[in-house]
Structures are given as structure tokens and as C-alpha cells.
Amino acid sequence: MQNFTFQNSTKIIFGRGVEEQTGEEVDKLGDKILFHYGGGSIKEYGIYDKVMDSLKEEGLEVVELGGVQPNPRLDLVKEGIDVCRQEDVDFILAVGGGSVIDSAKAISIGVPYEGDVWDFYSEEKQIQESLPLGVVLTIPAAGSESSPGSVITKEEGGYKRDAVSEELRPEFAILNPEFTFTLPEFQTASGAADIMAHVMERYFTHEPEVGFTDRLCEATLRTIIKNAPIALEEPENYGARAQLTWASTVAHNDLLGTGREEDWASHNIEHELSGKYDITHGAGLAIIFPAWMKYVHGEDPKKFAQFTSRVWNEETNFDSLERTAKEGIEKLETFFERIGLPTRLDDLEVEVTEADLVEMADKCTDRGPVGNFVKLDKEDVLAIYRLAN
Amino acid sequence: MQNFTFQNSTKIIFGRGVEEQTGEEVDKLGDKILFHYGGGSIKEYGIYDKVMDSLKEEGLEVVELGGVQPNPRLDLVKEGIDVCRQEDVDFILAVGGGSVIDSAKAISIGVPYEGDVWDFYSEEKQIQESLPLGVVLTIPAAGSESSPGSVITKEEGGYKRDAVSEELRPEFAILNPEFTFTLPEFQTASGAADIMAHVMERYFTHEPEVGFTDRLCEATLRTIIKNAPIALEEPENYGARAQLTWASTVAHNDLLGTGREEDWASHNIEHELSGKYDITHGAGLAIIFPAWMKYVHGEDPKKFAQFTSRVWNEETNFDSLERTAKEGIEKLETFFERIGLPTRLDDLEVEVTEADLVEMADKCTDRGPVGNFVKLDKEDVLAIYRLAN
């Protein structure tokens, strides 16, 4: 086990009706609020009104900025920074899923910074300060509600890049699983894939002596595998929604990675895909992760056999761990298909040429090899894109 | 799943050599330090010197108070409060196991309080403020290094009572698993029982829709069951020690109880035992927990069958979940015996009479019934003491 430091101080407020506490929590931290959100769905389903009522009840001043798209854009972030400066905003409230939260995080570090906020995503500058930020979550997927990361897309050049800093960790996150009842099936399924990917990026490591966190990872994966299909069949099943929601936060709150070398190749490889074709991140991961597994499992068939045995409850073939390893990969792929996700680039409604694959592999590795389980250079990434085709 | 609020901001610094960071962490929070510890073992094994060196390197002023006993006493707490006031101490560093930490916590709330610090343990007063507190851990067991609880024994009357407040949560905890290499076997085993008990107090609940935290609990229990025997056979096995240490903290950092109604009857029943006979808390739990299980499992054989199946990997008897439930209880008892713990009052080197049992049952329930899985009154508690005899 590696040495580590773990501290996650985000206050999680979880359950039915907890959005009523939003105003009270915000009031401890700010006076003038940027209410940041996406499209019309939070208005359609009454979430907007509930949160706004709670803010108004505390007499808080609110400025609004909606319009965050999936794969949130730098342009809107810059608009948000301008609004906050003009209006003297001192707290940002993100009401939505990972895209809204990541956009809000980018605004929070952009306001006190004189240069171009993209500097933090291109790794030219280190984050020094931020406005405080809170979250009302509507999609369990990204885990951004208590993570120190933010992913933003710069349309010019189709770059999708992340920034990581303790300054990006939200002060609080309000999680009402009922807010997820109305999610479209594809969003629920993509969220499930995203959660599983966050766990698997940590699970596949050569680090020894990590049996405890291995088991915590397996517990989280089994929770998603059990509850995602239930949530799809019965969208208003509170238990299934609640477990997906809490597992989604825990999957990405740093606990599962403690003491481990994490991988993150699949996320990097997927970012090129959603950066270029604007597909849903979780769906992109459902395509990339199995392909990555097919490419790398030979590096440690034992670890993959453990995945097959403990996560999928399959018997181990002691004559061929390799076979057992492959069975787990198939199980994962079949699961993604069962919940309605694409598992091949072909399944997407975009045309992907060999030249596109080369371009993405190039861009993905332009800052060096990706991943730790296996360090992947351009040729490796290209091979994975081809396996996903 | 119940609504919940979860926030644990204790900074965990984990691994080989991390005690070197003690001074740096303390320096952020205080200038004059009470260095609180137990007996001579931290001096014998060099821990005292390492920590003291780190404090001195930052130029911190240090006042010492050793002598904390297992089942820490109110008298020493009061001495510590006096020392802190006389010396203008502004930060308390606990170097030791759960007893030292709990004693330090009591001092931290006693210093700014004008009345008798026992008021917080007798539930006459609510905790309002505290001195900041840090921990260098030497025994994985109590989980007090990131918990909001403290248990103190008042010798007069043999009362062992707890206080719970966010004010009691340490600012940081330094966890070097190597510090546990020299633990006596009985301490390692008792620690394992304490960790398991912290998980099981949360695991056994009638609350529905808690499959995720059920699985996190099972993952933690399996980690202890696997690693405690290894640590006993190979005291310097870093992997086993590291996993026991980290699991010990996670078992009691509130995560495993999120959304659940917790039980805590066994802890209350055990407190009378260690309050009266000064036995090791974990060993007391190894006696009480199986007895509690025998008494209550009929309330929900399904939950106990799940325990048998998932924690002990035993086949389920679908014709008799009751039988499967009992098998899990036997497995637990056998495990405790295997790691060298007592499982009956008879195994203790003290004489326990029927009149003692009645007295303990009386005291245990003097503030009302204990437990939530089954609410236990005096007669129930007495029956459990008898089952443990």
C-alpha cells in the first residue's frame, strides 16, 4: 500500500426533501449567489422552484446563469466569470449534474484569477484560490459533488481537459435521490457506466496490499450492477435511486483510491471521443473501458480474474486465469448492452474514420503516455480505439 | 434508507514515516502543546522520540502528560485540564490508542468549560467548544482518531460513559502501520474484535434499501477476518497491519452508518463489563457480541443469513435461514477464539456472580432500554449476560 493523505470535508446532505436546507447552508457562506444550471429540466420538474424558494427564504440575492451543456464549454464559463465580477457574486450554487458542477467549479476559480481560466486546464497555471461553491445534485454519475476535479471543453480545437485542486472541492452537496426519478433512461445508464468507470480506474492497479480498498471497490461495483437495472425498470424506486446516488459520490470521493496507484487511461481516451463528437461521457466510457480491458488484461490476469470472481460472481477457472479474466470483460460489456449503452464506436450516430482515430490517439497522448496500469503511448491508444470500433 | 448528513473532515496522513509530518501539522493549529500518552511502550519503541523530534523541529513548546490507562479515567482527565489551564496549552496531541485519544478528547472539552467535565458524559450538558486536537495512532481498534466520540470511566461508581459531538473530531490523524508491529498479540486481537464490532453495530438494522452500506460493511469485516490472523502470525507484515489500520478508521468514521439506524446495544452492554472489571474493551466485545446475536437473531434471520453468506462465505440453507443465521454466529465465535480472545465471562480472570450480572444489567439500562435492532430492557440485558456466561 502506498502512503497517502485523505481528507474530504464536503458536507453531504442526503435524502428526501433535503433541498429545503439549501438556503440555510448557502447563507453560512455567501450573500450574493450565482445560481448555475443547465437546460429546462430543473424547471420542468420543479427543482428550480424548490431551490430558489429555499434561497429566497433566507433573503439571499440571486443571479442566474443557465444554459450549461453536457461536456460544458469554456465560453459559458467565461460568461459566468464576467457575471460574477459585475454582480459581486460571492458564492456559486450549481444545480444539476456533473457538467453544471464542473462549469460552476471553473467559474469559481476564474473569478479571482486575472488571466485566462483555461490556463488551469492546460496546466500552465496552478489554482490558488476560488469562490466557495455548493451543489444541488440531479444526476448521479460524475461524482463532482465532492471531488476536487473539473472537466471543461474548449470548443476551439475540441479540447476536453481537467483541472484538479482542493480549491475545487464543494463546501456542501445536497443529494435528494427523488430528483433522479425523471432522468431519461439513457442518462441513468450513462451515469451507471460513469460511476463504474470511476471505481475501475482505481481498481486496476499493480499496487500490492490493497485488499481492503479492492473490497470497497467491489462492493460499490456490485451496488451499481444490482441497482441500475432496477432504476431503469422502476424509475421511481427510491431505494435503487438512493443507492446509485450515494454510491456515485463515494465512488469518486477519493476513499476508494487511498493507498493505490490509480489508472485513468480510459477517462483520457474517452475525453477525446466526447471532446470531438460531443457524446455523453458515460456512454463513451461504456465503449472505451471494455476495449482498454481487452488490450491490457494480459498484464495481470490475476487481478482481472478477481474482478470476474468477486464482482460478477463467476467461478474461477484455475487452469486458465486468462479465460476467467476475459469472462469478466465480457460480463461488463454485456451489462452495458443490457442497460442500453453503446459498446462500439459503430453504435454511435457519428461517423468515425481511421483518420479520426489517429487524430484522437495523437491528441490523447500529446502530453505524454496515459495510464498507469499500463503506460499507453499513441500506438497503444490507437489500438484501443480500433478495438472499440 | 434514512436521510442523513455526513461530513468527516479529519485529515488522515497514512503510511511509513508519516510521523515526521506531526510537527508541521500541529504548527498550523497551535503553539503550546499537551503531549498526552499512556505507559512506557511509546518510549520503548521509539515512537515518543520520533514524534517529539518532529514537534521540536517546528519550535513548538511541549507539556507532557502520560499515564493514560486502558478504560481512561476521569481523574487523569481532570489533571490534564488543570495542566492545560496552568500552562496556557492551545493544542492537544494524543499519541497512543483509543484510550489516550478519548482521554485527550475529554481534556479538550474540559479546558474551556467551567463546570465538571463529567457533565458531558452524564448527558447533563451539551458540548459547546473544545481545544483543537490531533492524533498519532498506535493501536488500530477504537476508530477514535476520526470519530466524534469519547468514552471515559469514572472510577467512583465504576461508570463508563460516552460523549459525542463534532467538537470531539480530531483535526488530523497520523497513521503509521509500522507503529503497530510491536503490539502484544492480545491487543492486536482485541483491536480486531473492536473494529468488527463497530461495523456490526451498524450492519444489524431493519432499515431497508441499505444494500450499498451493507456491502461496504461486509467488505470491511472480510478485511479484518483475513488480516488479523496474518498480523498475529507475522507481526511485521506491513500489508496486514496497514489494512487493519485503515479499516479500523473507516469502520468508525461514520460512512458505514450512513442512512442506517445503528444498534449499539453490545457496546453499552460491554461498557458495564469493562467499567466494572477493567477488562480490555475489544475482548469484552468478543464475549458480548455473540451473546447478543444469539439473543436477537430471531428478529431478522434473513439479515443474519446474509451475514453468514457474505461475510463467512457459507452456503445458505434455504430450508432454514434460522440455521444459516446460527452458523454465522458460530463462525464469529470460532474466529474470536482462533485469534485468542475470550468468548465467555468464564474465560476472564475475574469472578462474576449472578448478583454482578443483575447489577450490570440494572446500570446498563438506567437511562432506558439499549439498542435499536431490538430495544433491550433490564431483563433482556440480563439474559444476554447469562448467555455470555
Q: Where are the domains of chain A?
A: 11-179, 185-387
**Whole-number Å distance between alpha carbons of A193 and A201:** 12
Q: Indicate the SS3 state at residue B170.
A: coil
Is A215 in Cβ contact with B243 (below 8 Å)?
A: no
**Whole-number Å distance between alpha carbons of A92 and A222:** 34
Q: How far off is chain A from B372, nearest CA to CA, in Å?
A: 21
Average pLDDT of the residues in A296-324: 97
DSSP labels for B254-316? SGGGTTS----HHHHHHHHHHHHH---HHHHHHHHHHHHHHHHGGG-HHHHHHIIIIIH-PPP
Query: Which of A6, A208, A209 is the closest to B14 by Cβ?
Result: A6
Confidence of residue A157 (pLDDT cuts 50, 70, 90): confident
Give the model confidence (pLDDT) of B266-286 as tens digits: 999 999 998 899 899 999 999
Would you list which residues of chain A are within 8 Å, Cβ to Cβ, of chain B? 1-18, 208-209, 211-213, 215-216, 218-220, 222-223, 226-227, 238-239, 242-243, 246-247, 250, 255, 258-259
A265-277 and A185-203 are packed helices; what angle lies between their axes, rounded to 10 degrees? Answer: 150
Average pLDDT of the residues in A323-327: 98
Average pLDDT of the residues in A326-335: 98
CA-CA-CA-CA dihedral for A188, A193, A195, A200, to nearest 10: 170
Share of chain A above pLDDT 90, in %: 96
Is A219 in Cβ contact with B218 (below 8 Å)?
A: yes
**Whole-number Å distance between alpha carbons of B146 and A12:** 17
Is B222 in Cβ contact with A219 (below 8 Å)?
A: no
Average pLDDT of the residues in B130-153: 97
Average pLDDT of the residues in A199-216: 98
Average pLDDT of the residues in A200-224: 98
| Range with the poorest average pLDDT among A75-84, A154-163, A164-173, A293-302 | A154-163
DSSP labels for A80-146? HHHHHHHHT--EEEEEESHHHHHHHHHHHHHTT-SS-THHHHTTSS-------EEEEE--SSS-TTS
Q: Quick one: chain B helix, strand, coil %, rounded to 5?
A: 55, 15, 35
Is A258 in Cβ contact with B255 (below 8 Å)?
A: no
One-letter amino acid at A307 equals: F
Q: Indicate the SS3 state at residue B250.
A: helix
DSSP labels for A293-318? HHHHGGG-HHHHHHHHHHHH-PPP-T
* For residue A305, pLDDT beyond 90: yes
Average pLDDT of the residues in B154-165: 92
Q: Indicate the SS3 state at residue B210.
A: coil
Q: How far off is chain B from A95, nearest CA to CA, in Å?
A: 19
Choice between A160 and B212, residue whose per-residue pLDDT is larger: B212
Phi, psi of A162 (to 5 degrees): -115, 155
Average pLDDT of the residues in A177-184: 98
Average pLDDT of the residues in B104-120: 98
| Range with the poorest average pLDDT among B25-29, B209-213, B346-350 | B346-350
The predicted pLDDT at position B157 comes to 86
Average pLDDT of the residues in A158-175: 95
What's the DSSP call for residue B349?
Answer: S
| Range with the poorest average pLDDT among A170-179, A322-331, B21-30, B348-357 | B348-357
Here the ipTM equals 0.97
Q: How far off is chain A from B18, nearest CA to CA, in Å?
A: 8
| CATH class of the domain comprising B11-179 | alpha beta
Is B3 in Cβ contact with A15 (below 8 Å)?
A: yes
* For residue A278, pLDDT beyond 90: no
**Whole-number Å distance between alpha carbons of B254 and B251:** 8
Residues of chain B with Cβ-Cβ distance to A208 below 8 Å are 239
Nearest Cα neighbor of A216 from A235, A193, A199, A197 is A199
What's the DSSP call for residue B346?
Answer: G
Angstrom CA distances, B27 to A26, B41, B61, B93, B170, stand at 31, 26, 10, 11, 15
Sign of the torsion formed by the C-alpha atoms of B313, B314, B317 and B320: negative
CATH number, span A185-387: 1.20.1090.10
CATH number, span B184-387: 1.20.1090.10
Is B255 in Cβ contact with A250 (below 8 Å)?
A: yes
Give the model confidence (pLDDT) of A68-83 as tens digits: 999 999 999 999 999 9
The predicted pLDDT at position B158 comes to 83
Phi, psi of A378 (to 5 degrees): -55, -45
Angstrom CA distances, A3 to A199, A209, B17, B26, B286, stand at 20, 12, 9, 20, 31
The predicted pLDDT at position B112 comes to 98
Nearest Cα neighbor of A36 from A10, A2, A72 is A72
Query: Which of A3, A7, A208 is the closest to B16 by Cβ?
Result: A3
Query: How many CB atoms sit inside 10 A of residue A126's CB?
Result: 10
The predicted pLDDT at position A57 comes to 97
Q: How far off is chain B from A119, nearest CA to CA, in Å?
A: 29
Nearest Cα neighbor of B269 from B259, B281, B256 is B281
Indicate which of A243, A250, A256, A311 best probes the interface with B, i.e. most B CBs within 10 Å of its own CB: A243
**A225 to chain B: nearest residue by CA?**
B212
Give the model confidence (pLDDT) of B189-198 as tens digits: 999 999 999 9
Q: How far off is chain A from B368, nearest CA to CA, in Å?
A: 29
The predicted pLDDT at position A275 comes to 86
Is A7 in Cβ contact with B209 (below 8 Å)?
A: no
| Range with the poorest average pLDDT among B117-121, B271-275, B317-321 | B271-275
Q: How far off is chain B from A88, nearest CA to CA, in Å?
A: 29
Residues of chain B with Cβ-Cβ distance to A222 below 8 Å are 215
Residues of chain A with Cβ-Cβ distance to B1 below 8 Å are 15, 238-239, 242-243, 246
Is A258 in Cβ contact with B14 (below 8 Å)?
A: yes
Confidence of residue A292 (pLDDT cuts 50, 70, 90): very high
**Whole-number Å distance between alpha carbons of A287 and A345:** 7
Cell numbers of A22, please?
A: 439549501
Average pLDDT of the residues in A116-122: 97
Nearest Cα neighbor of B10 from B110, B127, B132, B100 is B132
Instruction: Tell whether pTM > 0.95.
Output: yes
Nearest Cα neighbor of A145 from A11, A4, A266, A268 is A11
Burial (CB count within 10 angstroms: exposed 0-12, middle 13-18, buried 19+), residue A131: buried
Long-range contacts at A323-331 (CB < 8 A, ≥ 24 apart): A325/A297, A325/A301, A326/A297, A328/A304, A329/A290, A329/A293, A329/A294, A329/A297, A329/A304
**Whole-number Å distance between alpha carbons of B160 and B150:** 10
Is A212 in Cβ contact with B215 (below 8 Å)?
A: no
Nearest Cα neighbor of B97 from B286, B245, B300, B288 is B245
**A311 to chain B: nearest residue by CA?**
B215
The predicted pLDDT at position A158 comes to 83
Residues of chain A with Cβ-Cβ distance to B9 below 8 Å are 7-9
* For residue B349, pLDDT beyond 90: no
The predicted pLDDT at position A346 comes to 93
Is A4 in Cβ contact with B7 (below 8 Å)?
A: no
* For residue B5, pLDDT beyond 90: yes
**Whole-number Å distance between alpha carbons of A312 and B14:** 31
The predicted pLDDT at position A198 comes to 98
Average pLDDT of the residues in A147-154: 96
Confidence of residue A40 (pLDDT cuts 50, 70, 90): confident
